Amino acid sequence: MATLTINGTSVSIPQGALLLRAVEEAGITLPTLCHHDALAPYGACRLCLVMIIAPYRALVASCTYPVEEGLVVQTHAPEAVQARRLTLEALMSRCPRSDVISKMAEREGVTASRFGMPSSGNADELCVLCGLCVRVCRDLIGAAAIEFIGRGSERRVGAPFNMHSDACIGCGACAEVCPTGAIRMEDRGNQRILQAWNTCITLSACPECGRFFAPEPTRFLKDMFPEIKACWNVCPECRRQKTSRQWLNAGQKTD
């Protein structure tokens, strides 16, 4: 365990844990867009910056900083507050229509952005390039259907060549994890549409309940896990019920 001081309060937390977690332990909420507990530290949005004042002075992103014994941290040091405010102003200018950003900014005391609209800007932009969608698709789902394209201010997220993605399994994790609602997933009849990726997945009706689901992209699971062969063509909900029933029955038999 490491003991550190955050805004004057002493916090104990396992050695090597992220500073952001320690800050939360101390009961302080910092804004963050790119951090997710299920994903590796990334440090892109720079909203969770805090000031370390001892044993050295440094402005660090708490979501990537491993705690050390004896750190003294101030989350509201002038440098940290100023940096967070400017980051929010920049994000407001990038995504003027995002309610998530403007509410987050309001909590930090920013009501308007002094940056104008970016000259080549799209007023409907909602993506803050936090990379959660890219990382969840690659690191947790294992599909790696989307990636960053371009660099610097040209950076955006998309499927290769902006064309329909064959790698996308239509799981919707990207839409689920997106903090600003920039990715929408829509089921229309037997089509699942992920407009942001120009991708459309054909759905099948579940023979048990009639709900649409997307079995085709996950056909490989049948070979990987022979035990689901019997139920792979039913929807995830029915599959869950079926398998739990199987286990329940199996358990009763052994008893």
Partner 1 sequence: MTIRSHADLKNLREDGISLLRPERPRICVGMATCGLVAGAGAVFEAIREAGKTYGMDIVLVSTGCIGCCQQEPVVDVYMPGLGRVLYARMTSEDGQKLITALSVSEFPGEHALAVIPEAGSVAPKGMGILSRLPLISELPFYAKQHKIILRNSGLINPESIGEYAAVGGYQGLSRALWGLSPREVIDEITRSGLRGLGGGGFPTGKKWEVCSRAAGTARYIICNADEGNPGAYMDRTILESDPYAVIEGMTIGGYAIGASQGYVYVRNEYPLAIKRIRHAIEQSEALGLLGEDILGSGFSFSIDVVRGAGAFVCGEETALIASMEGGLGEPRARPPYPAIKGLWGQPTIINNVKTLASVSAIVAQGADWYAGIGTDGNAETVVFSLVGKIANTGLVEAPLGLTLNEMIHEIGGGGLDGRRVKAVQTGGPAGGCIPADLFHLPIDYSSLSQAASIMRSGGMVVMDEETCMVDVARYFLSFTIEESCGKCTPCREGARHMVEILTRIIEGKAGPGDLAMLEEVALWVKGASLCGLGQTAPNPVLSTLRYFRDEYDAHVNEKRCPSGVCRALIRLAIVPERCTGCGLCLRECPVGAVSGEKKQPHSIDAALCTRCRTCYEICPEGAVEIVR
Give whichever of 119 and 252 is closer to partner 1, judged by the CB atom: 119
Give whichever of 113 and 165 is closer to partner 1, judged by the CB atom: 113
Nearest approach, Cβ of residue 56 and partner 1 (Å): 13
Nearest approach, Cβ of residue 151 and partner 1 (Å): 5
Nearest approach, Cβ of residue 86 and partner 1 (Å): 4
Nearest approach, Cβ of residue 52 and partner 1 (Å): 13
Nearest-angstrom CA–CA distance, 82 and 109: 10
Give whichever of 113 and 192 is closer to partner 1, judged by the CB atom: 113
Give whichever of 74 and 217 is closer to partner 1, judged by the CB atom: 74
Residue whose entry in the numeric block shows the structure tokens 């690659």: 138
Give whichever of 129 and 173 is closer to partner 1, judged by the CB atom: 129
Residue whose entry in the numeric block shows the structure tokens 């299920």: 38
Nearest approach, Cβ of residue 45 and partner 1 (Å): 6
Give whichever of 148 and 225 is closer to partner 1, judged by the CB atom: 148
**What value, to the nearest 5°, has the Cα angle with vertex 103 and ends 183 and 29?**
100
Contacts of 251 (CB under 8 A, 6+ apart): none
- Helix spans in the chain (H): 19-25, 78-94, 99-107, 132-135, 173-177, 220-224, 236-254
Question: How far lies 42's CA from each of 33, 38, 130, 216, in Å?
Answer: 11, 12, 9, 32
Of 250, 251, 202, 208, residue with least CA distance to 233: 208
Nearest-angstrom CA–CA distance, 160 and 144: 10
204 sits in which H/E element: strand 204-205
| Residues at the interface with partner 1 (CB under 8 A) | 41-47, 49, 59, 61, 64-66, 79, 82-83, 86-87, 90-91, 93-94, 114-116, 118-119, 128-129, 131, 147-148, 150-155
Nearest approach, Cβ of residue 229 and partner 1 (Å): 34
Give whichever of 40 and 224 is closer to partner 1, judged by the CB atom: 40
Q: How many CB atoms neighbour CB 247 within 10 A? A: 10
Nearest approach, Cβ of residue 27 and partner 1 (Å): 24
Contacts of 97 (CB under 8 A, 6+ apart): 123, 124, 125, 126
